[in-house]
Amino acid sequence: MIRTLYLACIALFVLSGVASSKEPKELFNGKDLTGWDGDSRVWGVEDGAIVGHTKDVPLKANTFLIWKGGDVKDFKLTCKFKLEGGNSGIQYRSKVIDPDQWIVGGYQADMDGENKYTGILYEERGRGILTNRGDKHTTNKDKSKDKTESIGNADELAKAIHQNDWNEYVVEARGIHLKHSINGKLMSETIDHDKEHRADSGVLALQVHANLPMPMTVHFRDIKLEELEPAASKDGSSKTSKK
């Protein structure tokens, strides 16, 4: 009897574990832009990677390739990127501001060709730079209550980022806790207590930057999205706080 109960408990534990775990979803098929929407002059697929460029394309504003699979909330996104000059980024929990021009605003895992900003948290068309590389930053509606702690040296962390070559970017968002890592190194961490401006859900998108002095090209591949269980937060988890 005891052995039967023991085995039943193990079976229940295993089944509950399977039910709560979610396998990462491939967002890019490696062949074409099925499932994505953007300016066809800017975005395409080459050698199994999404490619965005500004060569011979006059852009009046930053433009984005928007994933059409629905809003993301609590998640872990993993992808590989290669940036040749210019500036790009991964938008998440963002809003489509102009669907006809593919303009998006919101949280951005930033990257640039000179690695000055790669790894930071930037809010496109919003609060601007929220957290620099090497920092853990806590935001508040009252900016005087913001707090910044060091998690590493920005210049040393930049050495882990390969210029003009492939890198792995990991973006993790759980409740108000946002983390950016590149090539296994935590680049920035944010606790966003600013209820008025923060976002709990929104679209994913990839950026090509406008008004650059020289043309740029960015490549993305192996884009995987893993949904995470919502994290409880004292000031309102992703279950209860508003966008």
Cβ-based neighbour number of residue 209 at 10 Å: 20
Mean pLDDT for 120-138 is 98
- Give a yes or no: residue 10 inside a domain: no
Would you state the pLDDT for residue 230?
87
243 occurs within a structural domain:
no
Does residue 11 belong to any structural domain of this protein?
no
- The letter for the amino acid at 232 is A
Residue 16 within any structural domain of the chain: no
What's the pLDDT tens digit per position in 167-222?
Answer: 999 999 999 999 999 999 999 999 999 999 999 999 999 999 999 999 999 999 99
Q: Rounded to two decimals, what is the model's pTM?
A: 0.87
Q: Read off the CATH number of the domain in which 177 is found.
A: 2.60.120.560
Examine residue 209 and state whether it is found in any structural domain, yes or no.
Answer: yes
Question: What mean pLDDT do residues 156-161 have?
Answer: 98
Name the domain count of the chain: 1
Q: What is the pLDDT of residue 107?
A: 98
**Which residues have CB under 8 Å from 27's CB, separation 6+?**
35, 67, 69, 204, 223, 224, 225
Boundaries of domain holding 206: 22-227
Tell me if 179 sits within 8 A of 77, measured CB to CB. Answer: no
